[in-house]
């Protein structure tokens, strides 16, 4: 059996707001530390039947980047659900929602409300 290790480092300011996120993995190409502006980590606790999550983003993460990040994450979640279930109708709904969310988030950036 093989084993892979993923390490995540978060540097925070005095108020514990993330300033820098970096990660590395023993199986990653180049085996070097990578930088990130945001991360979402979700783990399933089978015993408790609950999701455990860590969502972090740095001070330098821009709102347009957050919209892109969430859109891409939702699309990836839909692809994961497709591989796990073959429920094409629900996958299509998830992707439609993600695309609509992305469009609306872009509109809000162009026309911010007071």
pLDDT at 112: 77
State yes or no: pLDDT of 114 exceeds 70: no
Mean pLDDT of 70-75: 98
User: Distance between CA 87 and CA 21 in Å, rounded?
Assistant: 35
| Residue 11 token pair | 């540097």
Mean pLDDT of 41-60: 97
What pTM, to 2 d.p., does this model score?
0.88
Q: For tokens 């429920």, what's the residue? A: 87
Mean pLDDT of 30-45: 92
What are the Cα distances from residue 30, in Å, to 25, 27, 36? Answer: 10, 9, 16
């Amino acid at each position: 059996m093989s084993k892979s290790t993923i390490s995540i480092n978060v540097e925070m300011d005095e108020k514990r707001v993330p300033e820098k996120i970096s990660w590395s993995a023993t199986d990653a190409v180049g085996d070097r530390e990578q930088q990130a502006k945001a991360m979402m980590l979700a783990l399933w606790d089978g015993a408790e039947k609950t999701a455990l999550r860590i969502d972090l983003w740095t001070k330098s993460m821009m709102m347009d980047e957050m919209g892109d990040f969430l859109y891409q994450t939702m699309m990836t979640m839909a692809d994961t659900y497709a591989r796990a279930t073959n429920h094409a109708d629900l996958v299509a709904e998830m992707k439609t929602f993600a695309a609509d969310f992305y469009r609306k988030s872009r509109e809000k950036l162009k026309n911010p409300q007071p």
